[in-house]
Amino acid sequence: MSGEVNTLPFYGDLVSVAPGFVTGNTYKYTVSDITHSTENIFTWEERYHDIESVQNSPTYTVPLDTLDSSTPDGDLGDLVETDHSRPPFGSFVFGPAFDGTCFILKDNLLYYCKAKQPEYWPSTYYIEVSTKQFPLMTGLFHNGQTFVLSKNDIFYIQGSGPGTFAPMKMKAKTGAQSRRGAITIAGRGIFHTGPDGIYLYGSGNDQKVTEAALEPLFRGNDTQGMPGVLDMSTSFLRSFKNSLYFGYQSVGFDWPTNMLVINLETNRIVYYTYNDGSEIEIREIIVDEENSRLLIGDNTGFIRVIENKDYADDSGTAIDWEVQSKDFELQTRKHFPRWLKYDIDVPAGSTCIGKLILDDDVHHSHTVTGSRNTRRRLVDTGNGNRSAIRVSGTGPVTIYAVEGE
């Protein structure tokens, strides 16, 4: 097929009345194809619709002279990729490894992506690690090597790429009881949660580090003013500065409210709970490496900074946010975007801005307000090899869909 472009007339007189909006008589960048009820940009589009009409007719014949091409196969470019599958719906994601490989745990299987291409997960890129009765819980890297844990075992994943990965079961006494129940600490090993305490695996040995002083606590008994552990499946381990944090759930709560902090130099243990007049149930804990802060997310949806009494309370302050689609590329021509639509609910007090990105630069911006106002927003004339849509703002909004053409 030829790719020549029609010499298109431009219909109507345009009048600019406001940024991002154009009014006037009928205008278009296409030519009406009345025969097929379509709008065509390229001359080959009309020929394609002719072929499509013939194919759908009762007497199906294909005019071979229309489809024939003298271009040799070697000049048609690369074959279409067949291994660009979506990632599986798993229970835990970790990575990338030193070579750019990311991993997903799904049941007893370990999936991995193409190196340095985390958007591509070939359907054959997985290995079976544990048995189906004991699915994988979490994974991590220790000394540059990949480990995954079920509730009962620790597995070392040997190999360096597709077709070479293989699991090797370690001589560990237990695995991890939750997705956040294992953490690696340089120079020490892998701390992980067993059903009866905290263990440390390193140099081929696995020993329980809480047996000497805290054994009754993990049997559900109150110990030295600390409530007993009710359920290890919601517990977590995190390291921050020179301490190891263990959070656990006790009677009367659905999530951890209690914290044991172990000094990794002296092995001294401190216990406390977080409260603001009531017990705070911790759903998530994470280290903010950029600002050197330890953050927790509670059961009511608030984010809190702990281990810093001087940090200002910003409760009620709207949070700035930004999301962006992947870059879209056309195989045979540049993008020539004409409009965007935003299906977004922006409540009072929140702000939202939609942006068209061409070749990594902001080409046009729109202020989005109100509840799901999906009118067409025109954009400035321009083109690019890569196109994306970015939405940013302050405060809570609900994004349903964003569309561009």
Mean pLDDT of 82-97: 91
- Position 1 scores a pLDDT of 39
- Of 229-243, 264-278, 337-351, 390-404, the one with minimum mean pLDDT is 264-278
pLDDT tens figures, 32-50 = 767 767 776 666 666 666 6
- Residue 279 and residue 273: Cα distance in Å, rounded? 7
- Position 4 scores a pLDDT of 41
Mean pLDDT of 141-149: 95
Mean pLDDT of 20-29: 48
- Residue 8 and residue 118: Cα distance in Å, rounded? 42
Q: How confident is the model at residue 20 (pLDDT cuts 50, 70, 90)?
A: very low
Helices (H) and strands (E) in the chain — how many of each?
A: 3, 32
Q: What are the sequence ranges of the domains in the chain?
A: 14-75, 92-306, 320-404
Mean pLDDT comparison of 21-30, 198-207, 311-320, highest-scoring range: 198-207
Question: What residues are paired with 158 via a beta bridge?
Answer: 166
- Position 83 scores a pLDDT of 84
Mean pLDDT of 96-100: 92
- Position 5 scores a pLDDT of 41
DSSP element (H, E) containing 208 = strand 205-208
- Position 309 scores a pLDDT of 67
Mean pLDDT of 132-149: 96
pLDDT tens figures, 381-396 = 999 999 999 999 999 9
Q: Please say if the pLDDT value at position 176 is more than 90.
A: yes
If one compares 301 and 255, the residue with the highest pLDDT of the two is 255
If one compares 28 and 204, the residue with the highest pLDDT of the two is 204
Q: Could you tell me which residues come within 8 angstroms of residue 136 by beta carbon, excluding any fewer than 6 positions away?
A: 91, 92, 105, 107, 108, 109, 110, 129, 130, 148, 149, 150
The fraction of the chain above a pLDDT of 70, given in percent, is: 83
- Position 172 scores a pLDDT of 95
- Position 168 scores a pLDDT of 96
Q: Could you tell me which residues come within 8 angstroms of residue 90 by beta carbon, excluding any fewer than 6 positions away?
A: 104, 105, 106, 111
Mean pLDDT of 78-98: 88
- CATH class, domain 92-306, is mainly beta
pLDDT tens figures, 205-254 = 999 999 888 899 999 999 888 999 999 999 999 999 899 999 999 999 99
If one compares 271 and 55, the residue with the highest pLDDT of the two is 271
- Residue 36 and residue 65: Cα distance in Å, rounded? 21
Q: What is the value of pTM for the model shown?
A: 0.66
